[in-house]
Amino acid sequence: MDGVTVELLPAETVLPEWIGQMEPLRQLLACWMDGDENDPPLSPRITGVPGVGKTTLAMAAAKVRQQACWVQQCTSDTRPEDLIITPVLGDAGRILYRASPLLTAVVEGGVCVLDEGNRMSEKAWASLAALLDHRRCVDSVTAGLRVKAHEQFRICVTMNEDGSTFDLPDYILSRLQPKVEIGFPAAAEEERILAHHSPRSPDDLRKICVAYLQEAHGLDLPFSVRDGINLVRLASRLAAQSGGLPTESFPEAIQRILGKEALDLRSLRARRPGPDSHGTDEFFFDPEDDDLHLGR
């Protein structure tokens, strides 16, 4: 590029399928529809609690569009040069330039997912302002380059809704539009996701896990389908090790993954503000009889 050799990165080798809520996928694909220089594609932000599949959604949308995908992990110490080009020392003291996943997608015309973007500082975001508006370009001070985005380049940002993130400045937030929200999946969708990720687990284990998660969702507890996948996997392994039934190992899996207090969702409900009853089943684990109960 303009006489400067920049090493690009390989794309993600496996892109997932999207299972469940189709409305967020429809919205994201609409944002990325082809336009022209007067109507460039949108740069949406995907929001939701950790574990609901924000990154999976973005990668699955790239697969639907049959585009290569790169994921740029964002952290609180991400620097502007980390987002574009990083100089590295090569043989004989020669400086080499290595592109970020973002810049690789810009050049190759692929999809870039800025994962957990609201963990980045304003200084890092400022370096991307021109890329996120009609200019569709990015500057590298390190290599002395201005790179115009390929016409097929698409970008989205995932954002966790928790207390460990930054508030984005308005001039950046106005460029990351629209907001695509992912909530907790319905029971049938959740069971399909668990079956996809743990196909060898028994049906009764997945059903009891889905019932547990649905109760947690009704209480606005931050237990996600990712937690459910881990619960099912661990319960299956504990049962295989002990020779027991996976459903019998489910309480221990809850304790090891979500903590001892998660054994009693009624107790967690009592600690949270809001209505006392959601009209749903309640899970609780009674250590006295070593069993998991489902009650009203």
Residues contacting residue 152 through CB under 8 Å, at least 6 positions apart: 67, 109, 110
- What three-state secondary structure class fits 274? coil
Backbone angles phi, psi at 84, to 5 degrees: -125, -80
What does the pLDDT profile of the chain (296 residues) look like in tens digits? 888 899 999 999 999 999 989 999 999 999 999 977 788 999 999 999 889 999 999 999 999 999 999 999 999 999 999 999 998 887 777 888 999 999 999 999 999 999 999 999 999 999 999 999 999 999 999 899 999 999 999 999 999 876 667 788 999 999 999 999 999 999 999 999 999 999 999 999 999 999 999 999 998 888 999 999 999 999 999 999 999 999 999 999 999 999 999 998 867 656 655 544 444 445 555 544 444 554 43
Q: Look up residue 87 and give its amino acid.
A: P
Q: Six-digit token pair at 9? A: 């990165």
Global pTM reads 0.85
